[in-house]
């Protein structure tokens, strides 16, 4: 097949006439009365392409074949290729393209652009190569499509070759298409320095080129650079478009810039963009969900003129990320009522929501719906979401079954199952699963190691934990990973190797509240209560603010070493200094503090103020302390309260029996307790 080369001919004349004529709808006229001239054919095909009217377009195609226009008029042939590309019928577009007697640059560009727009990267690259083999020199459109293809699959070397070709042709200063395409290609390939260099060398920087650079920064997590770039663009007198705003809203969401995001929201409303762009509305919803402003996100969502599947899914994802599973499920079922069909991300959010609220029945219904709809079983996102839902709902048998049925398992699948076993105390199963994963050739990541270290810590498997620590060090996974670092501190603390726990803690680049609390808990758990308090004071001086778990540990440490006043001050500071509302664990710890100090009146007073459902551990604490002080009277009172709350529990009887023995109580009194135990079938 040779390229089409000729002088001024019928096709060129047709092009000139088409440019000069006014556009009028001709589809129906043409179909009803047959093809009268080439101008009507081209105009009608373009209208079908705009309206995505495949049926009428095919009728036009049939009439084109009757007149043999594909062999005589390249303009008609190119328009037909473009029509099928516009209607997503790439196979038909290629068929028409192959049937053309002559193919010019426009023919090739139509097909190359179609492949590029629909993510057919390899077809784009192959077409470009064949075009050049036919002796055609690529133009701006061809080169821009090629750059898009190179960026899509991250082939920077090929992209650089195209860049060099652009420079040779003297096209590098085109700001509208090639400049932006080059920036996009380099940013997608992660070469932000080169992208910035191309941008700075552009003689004219328009909104498209600015947006390409801003989008690149956002894509690679450089939100501050994106915001700086955005402000510089505005300072140079350019008004952002809806795409620019969508990018910069993403940046605000990533770095928690609520005030900045709110101002951008006002700008968007002022310029009227929100009424025209659902995509921009979705970006606003996404920003507010990432900032934790769920009420504002919902307001924006409710005001959208069109709520598409992306809008609903964004809202659901936000609810899930903030633990609001019920709200996410409400969104999911509302979608169904509005006949908006969920996509893979929507289904995964719905399953995640079921896991959050432990809604196993709804989760099973969604699973059944996926099966009824014939949803692809090889969709890793949905498959892993199913696995996670069953694990979160404590149905580990179904979780294992979902795992086995996955056609393709990735590291996420293994991590979910390993974490599921660990979260439910099945640490041996977690370790076994970890071994199977490695045997299958999967390399653990930071999430895997964090879960397996938790399992080792909880069963005291210090040796295995140490081996895993060595493996982590060899693979250089630890680095700045705070979650993994904290898991190591927790492992050594729970296993009683407090020296190693302190070493790992000291090596952490960032020590957050979890790091400090893990170390403090380790000291408390292994009887080093003084060290725990020293560590807490150091945390107050140079560390993050303590949380509720930190105070549980500290109050227990104070109780263990009998520093009553200090413990009372810590308890008071929870609300006055740190704004933490004490929960049942804190009140129970306070009861322990008073009981161990022999202040039983205060201990009983605190216990009585607690909700009845939370009092039982407090009365157990009092009973335990009564053994130390030999206080049978208070012990008897605590026993009666505990007995009233849970007559089936053997614990208060055991405590009371031990108290009688330690206090050398008469046989008859002790037999009364034993008789009560016998009456309740506890012995």
DSSP secondary structure of 56-95 = HHHHHHHHHHHTTHHHH-HHHHHHHHHHHHHTT-HHHHHH
Q: Which of 12-26, 459-473, 497-511, 526-540 has the lowest mean pLDDT?
A: 12-26
What's the mean pLDDT in 204-224? 93
pLDDT of residue 27: 42
Tens digits of residue pLDDT in 610-635? 999 999 999 999 999 998 888 888 99
Given this model, what pLDDT does residue 31 score? Answer: 42
What is the structure's pLDDT at 168?
87
Helix (H) or strand (E) holding 569: helix 564-576
Predicted confidence (pLDDT) per residue in 236-293, tens digit? 999 999 999 999 999 999 999 999 999 999 999 998 998 889 999 999 999 999 999 9
Does the pLDDT at position 9 exceed 70?
A: no
Could you tell me which residue, 113 or 439, shows the higher pLDDT? 439
pLDDT at residue 35, rounded to an integer: 41
Cβ-based burial of 211 (10 A; exposed 0-12, middle 13-18, buried ≥19): buried
pLDDT above 50 for 403: yes
Tell me what percent of the residues of the chain surpass a pLDDT of 70.
90
Q: Which of 278, 306, 334 is the last residue of a domain?
A: 306
Of the listed ranges 113-122, 348-357, 399-408, 636-645, the least confidently predicted one is 113-122
Q: Which residue has the higher pLDDT, 658 or 387?
A: 387
In the block, tokens 């135990």 appear at 677
Last residue of a domain, one of 306, 328, 349: 306
* pLDDT exceeds 60 at position 672: no
pTM given for the model: 0.75
Q: Is residue 675 part of a domain?
A: yes
551 occurs within a structural domain: no
Spatial contact of 553 and 521, defined as CB atoms under 8 Å apart: yes
| Chain-centre distance for alpha carbon 490 | 26
pLDDT for res 679: 52
Buried b (16+ CB within 10 A) or exposed e, 343-381: ebbbbbbbbbbbbbbebbebbbebbeebeeeebeeebbe
Q: Regarding predicted confidence, which is higher, 88 or 315?
A: 315
Per-residue confidence at 665, pLDDT binned at 50, 70, 90? low
pLDDT at 20 over 50: no
- Per-residue confidence (pLDDT) for residue 171, from 0 to 100: 79
In terms of phi and psi (left: phi > 0; alpha: psi -120 to 50; beta: otherwise), the region of 221 is left
Q: How far apart are CA 683 and CA 680, in angstroms?
A: 8
The backbone torsions φ and ψ at residue 241, rounded to the nearest 5 degrees and listed phi first, read -100, -175
Are 153 and 121 in contact, with CB atoms under 8 Å apart?
yes
The pLDDT of residue 594 is 97
Is 96 among the domain residues? no
Q: With bands split at pLDDT 50, 70 and 90, how would you rate the model's confidence at 34?
A: very low
pLDDT value, residue 234: 95
Q: Would residue 540 count as lying in a domain?
A: no
Q: 230: domain CATH number?
A: 1.25.40
Could you give the maximum distance between any two Cα atoms of the chain, in Å?
123
Q: Where is mean pLDDT largest: 60-64, 170-174, 344-348?
A: 344-348
Does residue 296 or residue 62 have the better pLDDT?
296
- Identify the band that residue 680 occupies on the pLDDT scale cut at 50, 70 and 90: low
- Domain range holding 599? 583-679
Of 273, 289, 306, the residue at which a domain comes to its end is 306
Percent of the chain with pLDDT over 90: 60
Residue 112 in domain: no
Q: Is the pLDDT of residue 367 over 80?
A: yes
Residue 122 lies in a domain: no
The total number of structural domains in the chain stands at 2
Mean residue pLDDT of the chain comes to: 88
Q: Give 198's DSSP letter.
A: H
- The answer to whether residue 642 sits within a structural domain is yes
pLDDT at 169: 81
């Amino acid at each position: 097949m040779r390229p089409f080369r000729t002088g001024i001919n019928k096709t060129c004349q047709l092009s000139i006439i088409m440019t000069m004529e006014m556009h009028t709808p001709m589809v129906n006229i043409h179909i009803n009365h047959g093809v009268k001239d080439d101008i009507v054919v081209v105009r009608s095909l373009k209208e079908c392409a705009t309206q995505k009217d495949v049926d009428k377009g095919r009728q036009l195609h049939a009439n084109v074949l009757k007149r043999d226009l594909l062999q005589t008029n390249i303009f008609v042939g190119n328009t037909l290729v473009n029509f099928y590309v516009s209607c997503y019928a790439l196979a038909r577009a290629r068929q028409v393209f192959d049937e053309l007697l002559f193919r010019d640059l426009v023919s090739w560009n139509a097909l190359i652009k179609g492949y590029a727009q629909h993510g057919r990267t390899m077809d784009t690259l192959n077409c470009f190569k064949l075009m050049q083999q036919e002796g055609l020199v690529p133009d701006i459109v061809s080169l821009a499509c090629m750059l898009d293809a190179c960026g899509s699959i991250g082939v920077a070397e090929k992209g650089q070759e195209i860049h060099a070709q652009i420079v040779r042709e003297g096209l590098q200063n085109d700001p509208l298409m090639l400049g932006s395409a080059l920036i996009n290609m380099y940013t997608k390939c992660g070469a932000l320095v080169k992208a910035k260099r191309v941008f700075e060398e552009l003689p004219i920087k328009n909104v498209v080129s600015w947006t390409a650079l801003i989008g690149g920064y956002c894509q690679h997590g450089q939100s501050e650079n994106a915001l700086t770039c955005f402000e510089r663009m505005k300072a140079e007198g350019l008004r952002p478009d809806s795409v620019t705003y969508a990018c910069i809203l993403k940046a605000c969401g990533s770095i928690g810039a609520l005030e900045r995001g709110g101002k951008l929201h006002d700008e968007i409303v002022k310029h009227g963009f929100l009424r025209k762009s659902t995509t921009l509305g979705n970006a606003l919803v996404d920003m507010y969900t990432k900032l934790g402003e769920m009420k504002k996100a919902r307001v924006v969502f409710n005001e959208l003129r069109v709520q598409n599947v992306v809008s609903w899914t964004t809202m659901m994802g936000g609810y899930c990320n903030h633990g609001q599973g019920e709200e996410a499920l409400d969104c999911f079922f509302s979608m169904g009522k509005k006949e908006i069909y969920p996509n893979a991300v929507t289904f995964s959010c719905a399953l995640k929501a079921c896991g959050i609220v432990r809604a196993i029945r709804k989760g099973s219904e969604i699973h059944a719906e996926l099966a009824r709809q014939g949803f692809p079983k090889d969709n890793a996102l949905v498959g892993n979401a199913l696995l996670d839902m069953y694990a979160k709902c404590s149905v580990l048998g179904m979780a294992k079954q979902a795992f086995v049925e996955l056609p393709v398992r990735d590291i996420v699948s293994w991590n979910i199952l390993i974490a599921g076993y660990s979260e439910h105390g099945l640490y041996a199963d977690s370790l076994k699963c970890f071994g199977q994963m490695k045997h299958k050739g999967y390399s653990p990541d930071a999430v895997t190691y964090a879960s397996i270290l938790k399992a080792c810590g909880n069963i005291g498997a210090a040796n295995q934990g140490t081996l895993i620590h060595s493996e982590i060090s060899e693979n250089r996974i630890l680095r700045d990973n705070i979650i993994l670092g904290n898991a190591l501190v927790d492992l050594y603390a729970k296993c009683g190797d407090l020296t190693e726990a302190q070493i790992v803690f000291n090596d952490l680049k960032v020590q957050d509240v979890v790091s400090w609390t893990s170390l403090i808990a380790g000291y408390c758990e292994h009887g080093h209560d003084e060290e725990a308090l020293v560590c807490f004071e150091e945390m107050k001086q140079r560390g993050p603010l303590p949380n509720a778990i930190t105070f549980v540990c500290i109050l227990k440490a104070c109780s263990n070493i009998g520093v009553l006043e200090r413990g009372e001050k810590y308890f008071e500071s929870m609300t006055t200094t740190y704004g933490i509302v004490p929960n049942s664990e804190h009140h129970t710890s306070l009861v322990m503090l008073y009981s161990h100090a022999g202040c039983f009146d205060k201990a009983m007073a605190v216990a009585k103020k607690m909700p009845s459902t939370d009092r039982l551990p407090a009365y157990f604490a009092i009973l335990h302390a009564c053994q130390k002080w030999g206080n049978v009277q208070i012990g008897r009172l605590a026993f009666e309260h505990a007995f009233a709350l849970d007559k089936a529990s053997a614990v208060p009887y055991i405590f009371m029996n031990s108290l009688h023995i330690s206090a050398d109580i008469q046989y008859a009194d002790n037999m009364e307790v034993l008789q009560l135990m016998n009456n309740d079938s506890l012995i």
